[in-house]
Copies of this chain bind each other. A is one copy, B any other.
Amino acid sequence: MADKKMILGMTLNSGYGNISGAWRAPEVDPGNYANIESNIRYAQAAERGGFAFLFTPDFPTVRGDVEFSGIQNIMEPMMALAAISQATSNIGFIATGSTTFQEPFNTARQFKALDAMSHGRAGWNAVTTSDSMVSANYGRPVADRAERYQRANEAIQIVQALWGSWEKDAWIKDQASGRFLDASKLRPVNLQGEHVASRGPLPIPPSEQGQPIIFTSGGPSPHLLELAGRYASGFIAEVWTIEEARAQRQMVRDAAERAGRNPDEIKYIPGLMTTVAPTVRAGLDRRLALSGDVIEARLPHVGALLGLQLDPSRYDQPLTEAQLRAAHASPMDPRSGIVLKVAREGWSPRDILAHGVIDFHPTTVGPAEVHADHLQEWLEAGAADGFWLSPDIYEDGVDAFVDEVVPELRRRGIFPEEYVGSTLRENLGVPAQYGLDPRVAGGTS
């Protein structure tokens, strides 16, 4: 474990950042959502820091308070990553793509094309879609979970089979003899599922890493764990605590083992939101400046999370000793333990929220050591193989992490000094695979 180094990835979204109001930051161009140029800059900054991958979550509908909070989703993941692939050379691309609303042949084709174009840097975060707003964009009702996962199993198998349908040594391209390829090695897959099917072959040659890497993400339902165990080389997690993460990582590893695989073949990657600042106070102020309204609206929740009645007139003062003695974390909400821990450090309710304690992920705020401590603790506790980071504001937050935190991680010997290679497989430490994995292909759940 002492030698274990972490994988780092960065989420890429609308070009602003991952805190509410990031689009309003003075250093941010509020038109960034439509400017791929900004995401290219952020990708290059992450590559400068040795990040293994960019990750594009995708929720293709309009949700939340877009009127004031802005948009938190990239316009379209595949087109953006195709563009970014040409402006980078080592960082990988893990794009979320739905098994529910994409045709497997199209998915196989676009991802393998991205893999070829990027010289072996593509990954597919294969997810099912259960949201009714998204389903409505495709004019269909939400399918039940069993059906969604049946289709997901079929889709992933078809996609992987199509990826392998141009055999590794099929491409002869001998100008002298005039033989372009060995057509007997470009073969139909003829897979017929209950929901999706494809004949193939897919005429795209292997990339430098063979084929794209499968990820999955979400809450660890039995269906998802089985899917992850069978197909995924990476699991993008959303967990709040080390304990939760360790347990979930073990569940994912067990699922891989049940599918006949080595559990080290699947990388468990929880998220972290980061605000890098000279001091914790400066970081909290940076967050309050943009998310002040959202934090204001959430103040009444702080008391509830601690089992206390808090006086609104004292939201800017630390909790009293009596309050801290009376406070208790709810075993039902993992965030309440974090709230209590921060409260005990002497922060006011407003500052507690500015720590990001009830945002989507754990949040670290402050100088390099704060972030490095969190990452190291989780890594060494066996709670993570790597992390996907969500910077508060891309425009300066990526550079700050790269310039301040990455050197600290390297000093501690827990982050690679440079890219292991130029493919995503090399940089994730994921074994070679081409076509279906013979250990898990065949049946469907």
Contacts and interface: CB of A to CB of B under 8 A. Distances in A.
Interface stretch (A201-209, A319-327, A364-372, A433-441): A201-209
Count of this chain's copies in the oligomeric assembly: 2
B117 A80 contact: yes
Interface residues of A, number: 71
A272 to B, nearest CB: 26
A180 B68 contact: yes
B178 A110 contact: no
Contact of A199 (B71, B139, B201): B139
Interface string A198-220: 11110111010000000000000
Contacts of A182: 67
B113 A80 contact: yes
Contacts of A79: 78-79, 82, 110, 113-114, 117
Contacts of A192: 139
Interface string A117-141: 1000000000000000100111110
A67 B105 contact: no
A421 interface: no
Nearest to A200: B137
B71 A203 contact: yes
Given A23-B173, A183-B66, A36 B138 contact: no
B109 A60 contact: yes
Contacts of A186: 62, 66
A175 B23 contact: yes
A109 to B, nearest CB: 5
Task: Enumerate the 9 nearest inter-chain pairs by beta-carbon distance, A residue then B residue, closest first.
Answer: A139-B197, A76-B113, A136-B199, A82-B82, A30-B173, A67-B183, A79-B82, A70-B180, A79-B113
